């Protein structure tokens, strides 16, 4: 990595200076803990990596980061601590009989050493225990601060080698934190690694911030800020901190969503009298109204082909999900089960639509499977769950919830609901999560 972190830090400091002076850009970290165990999943052991130089090993435990990734995606279970009875770091040291006895299907080993310029070389191998075959091997060069990123990239490759699907651990998430109360309340828009590490403040405000949305290349965030006294939509470049006002029209300027190609922005705007869905061409500024209905039309999300939007409307009384071609042609209702369906999230191929579904006073995250007759499955327990957001490979989701003290917390959950991980702030709330796209690894790390 070419230290995007540092660049980012500087960028956000510039921004902070404009809004509220003299605040550190590094955000308070979220605390993580796995909520559910997992009964049946693929057994894999990540053996602690060896350190082969004579200096102090780096603080980051690469094997532990990989292991956490494998567990939180809900598809694997791992051996930990003293259950890892042998510690091979090279292929010749593996006793396959040991791992067969421990009923392990896969084994990951690795080693690290200093290679100059402050860099560490991390080499790893993935072995199929039953076949006694090497499935994967590779190496990265990185400075110590980038080792978590390297570990996530290794986890992605392991995930793909075993499941056939790309991994999405080496990604980032955006969310909003709230601290303080009353007049001293502060909102911060934060970007962090997919496991909540390395939080960086993008913008802070004494007025509400909400609805962050990633551009498909991961370089920009669109969001809603009330800093002017009313809602306005901005797009901000994450590396330079520069931002531009996209819509500060009368009424609601809400729920921005980049088109899959990144050239258009869907929004919810009420300048015409009631909230409707619009699409703006970001290069020409041309605005097109998509929905035409005197109800609340909110939360547009793009279908992966960029031809249609999914949005929330209460035209039939209660909020339900609808879809409508971007070029117009009328809305089609998508949801018929549940009193209250809103907050749609669409997975990478459009086959799954997640939403918040309310029944009575319980709001849970449901996923509608469009390949299975629109069957609904619930992946969260409620009672106040909202804002689902898919990882780019669709294997996990982020959503927001409210704890018993009224504090916002986030959960990362496997798409089968088997494992949940809570992301919470020690002295405040977390809300409005948005999972970013795949990242391009920096070329300097080699492989």
Residue whose pair of structure tokens reads 């980049």 in the numeric block? 258
Angle between helices 62-72 and 147-163 (to 10 degrees): 50
The nearest distance, CB 280 to another protein, in angstroms, is: 17
- 58-64: long-range contacts (C-beta < 8 A, 24 or more apart)? 58/112, 58/120, 58/144, 58/147, 59/144, 60/144, 60/147, 60/148, 60/151, 62/110, 62/112, 62/122, 62/147, 62/150, 62/151, 62/154, 63/108, 63/110, 63/151
The nearest distance, CB 299 to another protein, in angstroms, is: 5
Q: Which of 404, 426, 440, 443 binds another protein (CB under 8 A)?
A: 404
* 100's tokens: 């067969």
Residue 251 found at the interface with another protein (CB under 8 A): yes
* Number of residues lying near another protein (CB under 8 A): 42
SS3 69: helix
Residues 310-339 that bind another protein (CB under 8 A): 312, 314, 318-319
Residue 340 found at the interface with another protein (CB under 8 A): yes
In 251-302, DSSP assigns E strands to 253-258, 264-269, 276-281, 287-289, 297-302
- Binding track, positions 61-100, relative to another protein; x by CB under 8 A: ----------------------------------------
In terms of Cα–Cα distance, which of 378, 388, 291 is closest to 346?
A: 388
In this structure, the strands spanning 243-247 and 220-225 are unpaired
Residue-wise burial string across 95-117, b where 16 or more C-beta atoms lie within 10 A, e elsewhere = eeeebeebebbbbbbbbbbbeee
The nearest distance, CB 342 to another protein, in angstroms, is: 4
Residues 341-400 that bind another protein (CB under 8 A): 342-343, 356, 358, 361, 363, 383-384, 386-387
Residue 283 found at the interface with another protein (CB under 8 A): no
- How many other β-carbons are positioned within 10 Å of the β-carbon of residue 157? 21
The nearest distance, CB 252 to another protein, in angstroms, is: 5
In this structure, the strands spanning 287-289 and 42-46 are unpaired
The nearest distance, CB 160 to another protein, in angstroms, is: 33
Residue 272 found at the interface with another protein (CB under 8 A): no
Q: Which of 115, 143, 210, 246 binds another protein (CB under 8 A)?
A: 210
Using the contact rule CB under 8 A, the part of the chain among 72-80, 150-158, 203-211, 327-335 near another protein is 203-211
In this structure, the strands spanning 276-281 and 264-269 are antiparallel
Q: Which of 50, 149, 254, 437 binds another protein (CB under 8 A)?
A: 254
The nearest distance, CB 142 to another protein, in angstroms, is: 37
Residues 423-442 that bind another protein (CB under 8 A): 431-432
Residue whose pair of structure tokens reads 């997975």 in the numeric block? 347
Query: Please, are residues 351 and 368 in contact by the beta-carbon 8 Å criterion?
Result: no
The nearest distance, CB 284 to another protein, in angstroms, is: 25
In this structure, the strands spanning 50-51 and 106-114 are parallel
Nearer to another protein, 94 or 209 (CB): 209
Residue 225 found at the interface with another protein (CB under 8 A): no
Nearer to another protein, 191 or 267 (CB): 267
The nearest distance, CB 80 to another protein, in angstroms, is: 35
Q: What is the per-residue DSSP string for 140-161?
A: EEE-GGGHHHHHHHHHHHHHHH
The nearest distance, CB 353 to another protein, in angstroms, is: 14
Query: Please, are residues 200 and 144 in contact by the beta-carbon 8 Å criterion?
Result: no
Where on the chain is the footprint of another protein (CB under 8 A)? 181, 208, 210-211, 226, 229-231, 251-252, 254-255, 268, 270, 274-275, 296-299, 312, 314, 318-319, 340, 342-343, 356, 358, 361, 363, 383-384, 386-387, 402, 404-407, 431-432
């Amino acid at each position: 990595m070419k230290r995007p972190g540092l660049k980012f830090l500087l960028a956000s400091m510039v921004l902070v200076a404009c809004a509220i002076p003299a605040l550190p850009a590094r955000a308070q970290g979220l605390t993580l803990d796995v909520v559910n165990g997992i009964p049946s999943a693929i057994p894999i052991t990540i053996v602690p990596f060896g350190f082969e130089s004579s200096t102090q090993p780096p603080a980051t435990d690469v094997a532990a980061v990989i292991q956490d990734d494998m567990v939180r995606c809900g598809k694997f279970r791992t051996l930990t601590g003293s259950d890892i009875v042998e510690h091979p770091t090279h292929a010749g040291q593996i006793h396959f009989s040991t791992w067969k006895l421990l009923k392990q299907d896969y084994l990951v080993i690795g080693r690290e050493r200093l290679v100059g310029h402050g860099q560490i070389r991390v080499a790893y191998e993935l072995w199929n225990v039953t076949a006694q075959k090497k499935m994967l091997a590779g190496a990265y060069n990185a400075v110590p601060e980038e080792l978590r990123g390297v570990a996530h990239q290794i986890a992605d490759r392991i995930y793909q080698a075993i499941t056939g699907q790309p991994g999405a651990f080496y990604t980032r998430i955006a969310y909003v934190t709230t601290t303080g109360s009353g007049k001293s309340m502060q909102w911060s828009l934060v970007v962090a690694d997919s496991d909540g590490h390395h939080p960086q403040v993008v913008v802070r405000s004494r007025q509400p911030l909400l609805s962050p949305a990633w551009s498909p290349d991961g370089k920009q965030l669109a969001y809603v800020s009330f800093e002017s006294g009313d809602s306005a939509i901005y797009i901000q470049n994450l590396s330079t901190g520069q931002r531009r006002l996209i819509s500060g029209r009368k009424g609601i300027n809400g729920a921005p969503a980049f088109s899959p190609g990144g050239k258009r922005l869907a929004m919810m705007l009420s300048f015409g009298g009631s909230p409707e869905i619009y699409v703006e061409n970001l290069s020409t500024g041309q605005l097109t109204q998509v929905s035409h209905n005197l109800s609340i039309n909110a939360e547009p999300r793009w279908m992966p082909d960029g031809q249609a939007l999914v949005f929330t409307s209460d035209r039939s009384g209660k909020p339900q999900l609808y879809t409508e071609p971007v070029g117009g042609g009328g809305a089609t209702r998508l949801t018929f089960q549940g009193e209250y369906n809103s907050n749609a999230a669409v997975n990478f191929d459009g086959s799954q639509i997640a939403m918040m579904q309310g029944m009575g006073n319980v709001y849970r995250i449901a996923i509608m499977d469009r390949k299975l007759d629109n069957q609904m499955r619930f992946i969260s327990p409620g009672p106040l769950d909202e804002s689902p957001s898919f990882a780019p490979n669709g294997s996990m989701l982020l959503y927001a919830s409210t704890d018993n003290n009224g504090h916002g917390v986030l959960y990362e959950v496997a798409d089968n609901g088997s494992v949940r991980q809570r992301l919470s702030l020690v002295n405040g709330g977390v809300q409005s999560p948005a999972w970013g796209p795949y990242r391009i690894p920096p070329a300097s790390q080699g492989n």
